[in-house]
Structure 1
Amino acid sequence: MEATAKLKFTRIAPRKVQIVLDLIRGKDTAEAMAILKHTPKAACEDLEKLLKSACANAETNFHMDKDNLYVSSCYVTPGPILKRIRPRAQGRAFRVFKRTSHVTLSVSEKE
């Protein structure tokens, strides 16, 4: 049994989120929360809230014990890309891609 939480359309590039997800994959939720709290990456704030949400879903919906939970799977997929224009010299314009992410985090109970 898995409890899942999803974060959609978050304004951070998937490559940056993937680095942090690799740190917490397979860890206990308490250890994963400590890693997220002390890692100086922009994605950690959103992922911390997502992990709390997944744990709350596990407790509330599936009656799992919060002390036995671990991060069973987590992945990120790219969302829509916001395309903006940056003015450059001599009347030219450069494209700026503001990438978004969809993050899915699942927690399971240890046997």
Structure 2
Amino acid sequence: MATNTREKTKRIAENKDKRPYATARHIRMSPYKVRRALALIRGKSVNEAVALLEYATVISAEPVKKVVLSAAANAEHNFGMDRGDLIVAEAYADQGPTLKRMNPVSKGRAHAILKRTSHITVVLDVKSK
């Protein structure tokens, strides 16, 4: 049984994605809003993506910019890549846990308020020449 476990662990390690990435979890913003900023940068170079997010009017540009810069720093530090050669290969926002709050209304009733959170992931790759 231990042999099978070791082989399975080895297979998982071989198939693991070796591209630099960064993740921000539990961002207090709806994933719908975050996806608007991610659509702007997908496929762009890192420098261009940061410049776009710097002047974007979408509210979610700031946390997305932080994740892109973090992924670029991970690429430089952990993989020894040059920041000028990197592009945003994948960028997606998943839904995190939802904070549930209640708004009291007439006749003793209450309406639900859903405060959504996001998990933002940015994966970088080397620009193909």
TM-score range, shorter chain: over 0.9
CA-CA distance at 1:24 after TM superposition: 0.4
The C-alpha deviation readout for 1:31-90, integer Å capped at 9, x for no partner, is: 101111111122111111111100000000001111111101011111111100011123
Q: Paired residue for 1:61, among 74, 78, 81?
A: 78
- Is the CA contact 2:36–2:58 (under 8 Å) kept in the aligned structure 1? no
Which structure has the larger Rg?
Answer: 2
Q: Does 1:6 align with 2:23?
A: yes
The one-letter code matched in structure 2 to 1:107 is L
Runs of at least 5 residues in structure 1 that lack an aligned partner in the other structure: none
Runs of at least 5 residues in structure 2 that lack an aligned partner in the other structure: 1-17
| Residue matched to 1:15 | 32
For residues 59 and 100 of structure 2, the distance between their equivalents in structure 1, rounded to whole angstroms, comes to 21
| Residue matched to 1:52 | 69
- CA-atom RMSD, angstroms? 1.0
The one-letter code matched in structure 1 to 2:60 is A
The one-letter code matched in structure 2 to 1:30 is N
Please identify which structure carries the higher strand content.
1
Equivalent position SS for 1:75: strand
| Residue matched to 2:102 | 85
The aligned length equals 111
Please identify which structure carries the higher helix content.
2
Equivalent position SS for 1:7: strand
The one-letter code matched in structure 2 to 1:70 is I
CA-CA distance at 1:110 after TM superposition: 1.2
Percent of pairs identical after alignment?
Answer: 41
Q: Does 1:101 align with 2:125?
A: no
The one-letter code matched in structure 2 to 1:51 is V
TM-score by length of 1: 0.95
TM-score by length of 2: 0.82
